[in-house]
Chains A and B, each alone.
Chain A
Amino acid sequence: MAPKVPPQPTLEQSSTAAEAGHGHAHHAPPKGILRWLLTTNHKEIGTLYLIFSLTMFFIGGIFALVVRLELFQPGLQFVRPEFFNQMTTMHGLIMVFAAVMPAFTGLANWMIPLQIGAPDMALPRLNNFSFWLLPVAFCLLLSTLLMPGGGPNFGWTFYAPLSTTYAPPSTTFFILSLHIAGISSILGAINIIATILNMRAPGMRLMDMPLFVWTWLITAFLLIAVMPVLAGVITMMLMDINFGTSFFNAAGGGDPVLFQHLFWFFGHPEVYIMILPAFGIVSAIIPTFSRKRLFGYASMVYAVAAIAILSFVVWGHHMFAVGMPLVGQLFFMYATMLIAVPTGVKVFNWVATMFRGSISFEPPMLFALAFVVQFTIGGFSGLMLAIAPADFQYHDTYFVVAHFHYVLVPGAIFAILAGAYYWLPKWTGHYPNERLSQWHFWLSVIGVNLTFFPMHFSGLAGMPRRIPDYALQFADFNLASSLGAFIFGFSQLLFVALIVLCVRGGKKAPAQAWGDYATDLEWSVPSPAPLHTFETPPTFERPAH
């Protein structure tokens, strides 16, 4: 077998980088709002993305809490079903397109140039543009709530014909906002690919890159492949609604099932777009706090690539109940089950990294460990859902809701939080407050599991998803879920407080904030990272094997 060369650069370039920070005379940046509007600096744009994402996380979270409030007990107490449907839809859309995706893009903006030793992203002005498209897109989307007939009420999966022939008048604006958000993602992806492929420090080969960079490279390719398909689908919807075509309308010779095929051809890779960078973050954190190199670097890269490729041939597992022929069901079932193999490899590698390490439990590690456990639980329920005959019973129930929330909330979002804790010292120059972090972590873990674990039971017992009111036997599960949701939601305020405190002060962090085992290039620049880094590219030196 070929020798695997792990990414372990030496640190000799740190002095040059530090000099670069204040030595150069740059054009004086504009002051105030304009500075942020016009910035082309990857760190500032990264910060903008992260702040935007956090804001949207709270807005989407408030929508989720409206849903959980209504479901607190049987009956209709707080909102009408019309509004309830808008809340579930908006919660999904905002969390997927405005919270999770921009959070990863923000981390990519901040960390990819630092991790590959580049002075900035390859296309800085495009970078600015792709960020500022986002607030436009989501202000437009949120404004549909105030339009006559209300906002989108057909679920984040917007199945036709509920989202076309039977949709509220605001749907055209929903489509427009999704187009803008999609363009933003695509431009971001182009930028990330161009940066990774062309801007690496001399000597850094692809197989030397940190896993966060690798996972983002693959994610960016997924975005390039599927965002245009989403754009195509919503364009067809737009034409069906406004120009009398019948792509999805049976009355005109179209087929509503075609919508689902196209949507999930985008939708399944989209799901992985939201989880692959999380793998990268966790793969950086676990070795750092196990004081040991990542186990199986190469197999991690191959596993991510395998997951990405498989994601294109499993979309049918979202449609087992739609009436597919037997061969179709079997194909999608087998293909979906196969994903368990590379995913398993990743989990085993993380565990093997910890095995015989020297483990400590700083906040980033706590979140990363919780990620591994909870993501794996989500993976198990995913495997159960892959079994087509059983899926007839799980499909469109709370079991599915439990599954994808386990993957996305205690999965992707915990990884984002872990990443934030991990890199906050680099961003601000201070360690996050230890006690507050502990509170945040434990309340989040308790809240999130109290919210989503009972959903497995309510789903198995027969509760369909997206209903504003439910039969009495589901009452206890829903009570627990609602309690958990409020605990989780409010404990995120601690995170905001923690960031504010961390920006203002706290224990000073050195360049290598997390010790000798955090060896990627970002730890070679001072903390906080100066506005301009690696203007002279560092020489990447691979340690002798």
Chain B
Amino acid sequence: MRTLLVWLAGGLTLVGSSQVALANGWNMPVGVSTLSGEIYGLHMTIFWICVVIGVVVFGVMFYSLFKFRHSRGAKASNFHENTTVEVIWTIVPLLILVGMAVPATATLQKIYDPSEAELDVMVTGQQWRWRYEYLGEDVSFISNLATPRAQINGEEARGEHYLLEVDEPLVLPVNRKVRFLFTSDDVMHAWWVPQLAVKQDAIPGFVNENWVEIQEPGIYRGQCAELCGVDHGFMPIVVHAVEEEEFDTWLAERKEAAAEEAMGIDREWEMDELMERGEGIYSSICASCHQPEGQGSPPAFPALAGNEQLISDKDWHVNKVINGVSGSAMPSFRNTLNPVELASVLTYTRNAWGNDTGEVVQPAEIAERLEE
């Protein structure tokens, strides 16, 4: 009897927790895109169908366990087959499944809607960051984890958006259809923002397509969803959805800033400004593998501090940063960083942590090399 009571209590807890599941933070978000609400609805429909089936099946089961107990002197019947019943419980689930498949198919067709988009964004996964390129707009940037390592290691209090914050969020307009093209520079990644109900694998050498139309301005956060190596847990996604005018202004500013930066390529840069800028770029892009003090973590990530080849062979060093190393986590930064940024980070790594080559790598030099 006690056994049964505990079983019953367990059953009630299950039902109870499914009720709580409706509360926020316990369930799939309704989301803010044109399709996310529909996907949420589909999820809840199937969930409730499962609950009903579960209540019926477990109901009969627990009734039997309670009613037909040996200890209560129950005598077993002799039946062991019944064609009618067996046919019914084959056909009825089949019908329920058809009932589920109809709305699921409709939603899937909407997801595959290829109608023209107003904005194309190329999303490239890279160990371990995302790169966004607004196709045809000359605007592209990379987006790194912004949470300080000190928070991860518990040396600092963790912020509200711990691990879900980036240095440069993806900015998108609301009420415009945005087409995403996904690819990867190294291993497979997956771009996922729950509020947008978009999850798509980024596959090296291949391109995948998906789209979103956001309906509400806001900040939406997600993470890489496909195991991609050591820092898989540390490549978040942040989307800033803004009103259309605000987006247009933002895009124009980005273009202007890029143009301004391009103007600066030709001038002679001082060591100090390059070092300062380089340090910032190094800590947001390079430090996760090569470590904050350039000590690396061999064998996977070679040390930069005191690296003989790096110190003695500038051309080799420049080549590695621009073109990357195939089959390793070192990507090509040719299209990721502009000449000023490349020159800054090269200058920094050639002079920091006792590398002291005293060499200043000028943006002009890099620009020329890229244009050859």
Can you identify 11 A-B contacts, CB atoms within 8 angstroms?
Answer: A81-B232, A257-B206, A292-B78, A321-B199, A344-B90, A355-B60, A356-B68, A383-B50, A390-B104, A457-B27, A466-B232
> How many residues from A make CB contacts under 8 Å with B?
99
Query: A378: shortest Cβ distance to chain B, in Å?
Result: 11
- What are the 5 tightest A-B residue pairs by CB atom distance, in nearest-first order? A250-B205, A467-B233, A323-B208, A360-B70, A380-B50
Cβ contact within 8 Å between B25 and A473:
yes
Cβ contact within 8 Å between A396 and B206:
no
> In whole angstroms, what is the CA distance A473 to B164 when docked?
11
A460 within 8 A of B: yes
A-B contacts at CB below 8 angstroms, number: 290
Cβ contact within 8 Å between B86 and A355:
no
Cβ contact within 8 Å between A291 and B76:
yes
Stretch touching chain A among B134-142, B150-158, B171-179: B150-158
Cβ contact within 8 Å between B101 and A337:
yes
What 1/0 flags go to A313-342 for Cβ under 8 Å of B? 000000001110010011001100110110
- Chain B CB count within 10 A is highest, among A347, A358, A388, for A358
A470 within 8 A of B: yes
With A255-B206, A326-B109 in contact, do A166 and B327 touch (Cβ < 8 Å)? Answer: yes
Within 8 A of B (CB), among A344-389: 344-345, 347-348, 351-361, 366, 369, 372-373, 376-377, 380, 383-384, 387-389
A462 within 8 A of B: yes
- Residues in chain B near residue A352, CB distance under 8 A: 82, 85
Cβ contact within 8 Å between A390 and B42:
yes
Stretch touching chain A among B182-190, B302-310, B312-320: B182-190
Cβ contact within 8 Å between A359 and B69:
yes
What 1/0 flags go to B66-82 for Cβ under 8 Å of A? 00111100111111111
Chain B, residue nearest A1 (CB): B83
What 1/0 flags go to B105-132 for Cβ under 8 Å of A? 1011101100000000000000000000
Cβ contact within 8 Å between A393 and B39:
yes
- Residues in chain A near residue B221, CB distance under 8 A: 471
- Residues in chain B near residue A6, CB distance under 8 A: 80
A469 within 8 A of B: yes
Instruction: Kindly identify which residue among A154, A299, A351 contacts B57, using a CB–CB cutoff of 8 Å.
Output: A351
- Residues in chain B near residue A166, CB distance under 8 A: 186-187, 229, 327-329
Cβ contact within 8 Å between A351 and B61:
yes
> In whole angstroms, what is the CA distance A468 to B234 when docked?
9
Cβ contact within 8 Å between B43 and A393:
yes
- Residues in chain A near residue B109, CB distance under 8 A: 326
Chain A, residue nearest B11 (CB): A373
- Residues in chain A near residue B190, CB distance under 8 A: 321, 395-396
With A321-B200, A341-B94, A442-B6 in contact, do A460 and B26 touch (Cβ < 8 Å)? Answer: yes
> In whole angstroms, what is the CA distance A384 to B206 when docked?
29
Stretch touching chain B among A31-39, A157-165, A177-185, A426-434: A157-165
Stretch touching chain B among A72-80, A204-212, A218-226, A269-277: A72-80
B148 within 8 A of A: no
- Residues in chain B near residue A369, CB distance under 8 A: 7, 61, 65
